Structure 1
Amino acid sequence: MASLRLRLRQFGAELHRQVDEAFSALTPHTADGYRRFLRAHAAALFSLEQTLEHHAIERLLADWPTRRRSPALLADLQALGCAEAMPVPMLALRQVTEGWCWGAVYVLEGSRLGAQVLVRRVQKEQPAAPVSYLAHGDSAVLWPAFLRQLEAGAHQCDEQELRRGVEDAFALFLEGARGQNCPERLQDCPA
């Protein structure tokens, strides 16, 4: 049987592709694109982290406080003058289970890996841009530690709940990106 990590990756493969495509239209290497990129992430990340904390994620991940990225993202948005025009968190879930939490955290922690590439690009194109969110945490330490905890803690979870957590998390990022690609939202933050 495939590893849990591989199964989670397969569950979200198509949505992950769609998310990457939607975010590529936000062009984070421009000032406006970067603001919209962060706002799209905020809509999804704030919702996901709030939901996970409401359902006691720290019982599953003892190092959750070091993984939280909402404060870093909020600080970047404030530095860009976008905190007043924050998107409303989007999450309205029917039910959250332990399996759902593991699936959702898998997506959040995986996004940290992609952020490593983006942070270098943003710093090159916009040296003064705030990058606390993209640079948050040492993924060389956090990712392997997460995978160990995932394999130890989620192996007994219902596979459909794991899948639902992955799919819901990716769907929130997709909705956030699509929302920031709407022309009427482009003027929400100062240039």
Structure 2
Amino acid sequence: MDSVRNRLRAATALQHERIDAAFSAYQLDQTDGYRAFLQAHALALIPLELTLEQAGIETMLNDWSQRSRRQALLADLQALGCTEPTSAQPDTAPSSGWCWGAAYVVEGSRLGGRVLARRVAEANPSAPLRYLSHGNATPFWPSFLHELEQQAAACGWSEVLAGAHATFERFLSAARSNRS
């Protein structure tokens, strides 16, 4: 039987490609491009984290308070001279399955963040990198995958997939609306 991770990866591969293409349009080697990139992430991530918290993600991932990245993102934006973004309100508290799908996307984005942090640092060594490098010294991804397989498998697949699709779409919409 396929793992939840493999099923999610296969079912969202096209959305993942679209996200990568949309965010690759940002010029991270330039301050304005990097700022716009972070602002787009804030448009998506902040309401997503609030939605997950409203739904009780802390009971699903007991280390959620260490995983949450919105404060790191806000600190980087402030360091770049941005005011706190006005973002969408959190969604109505979704099901546990939806949360697992959304968390899969949010947690998976850390992996790309590591690569992007190196690119940004090479172009601008003084760039704030709290968001992109958040949790680099912690094995968040492997521990997340363990919990995903243990807990999400008991949830309805359609709900898990709906959470992943909705999260990818939120990031894609933010990427397209905030290009510099």
Shorter-normalised TM range: over 0.9
Measure how far apart 1:138 and its partner are. Answer: 2.7
Q: Per the alignment, do residues 90 and 43 of structure 1 end up closer, same or farther by CA in structure 2, a change over 3 Å counting? A: farther
Aligned residues: 180
Distance in 1 (CA, whole Å) between partners of 2:83 and 2:126 is 18
Structure 1 residues without counterparts, runs of 5 or longer: 187-191
Q: TM-score, normalised by structure 2?
A: 0.95
Q: Per the alignment, do residues 139 and 4 of structure 1 end up closer, same or farther by CA in structure 2, a change over 3 Å counting? A: farther
Give the equivalent residue in structure 2 for 1:177: 175
Measure how far apart 1:15 and its partner are. Answer: 1.0
> Counterpart of 1:53 in structure 2: which amino acid?
E
Matched, 1:112 2:140: no
Identity %: 49
RMSD: 1.4
SS at 1:136's partner residue? coil
> Which stretches of structure 1, 4 residues or longer, exceed 3 Å deviation after superposition?
90-93
Q: How does 1:11-26 map to 2 (within 5 A)?
A: 11-26=11-26
> Counterpart of 1:68 in structure 2: which amino acid?
S
Matched, 1:134 2:125: no
Give the equivalent residue in structure 1 for 2:45: 45
Note the alpha carbon deviations across 1:36-81, whole angstroms, 9 max, x for none.
0000000000011000001110010001011000000000000011
User: Which residue of 100, 109, 131 maps to 1:102?
Assistant: 100
In 1, are the aligned partners of 2:51 and 2:91 still within 8 Å (CA)?
A: no
Distance in 2 (CA, whole Å) between partners of 1:166 and 1:146 is 15
Q: Per the alignment, do residues 91 and 170 of structure 1 end up closer, same or farther by CA in structure 2, a change over 3 Å counting? A: farther
Q: TM-score, normalised by structure 1?
A: 0.90
User: Which residue of 146, 150, 155 maps to 1:152?
Assistant: 150
Give the equivalent residue in structure 1 for 2:36: 36
Structure 2 residues without counterparts, runs of 5 or longer: none
Measure how far apart 1:2 and its partner are. Answer: 1.4
Distance in 2 (CA, whole Å) between partners of 1:90 and 1:169 is 14
Distance in 1 (CA, whole Å) between partners of 2:171 and 2:90 is 11
Note the alpha carbon deviations across 1:111-152, whole angstroms, 9 max, x for none.
000000000000000111100000100366111011111111
Note the alpha carbon deviations across 1:8-40, whole angstroms, 9 max, x for none.
112211111111111011121211110000000
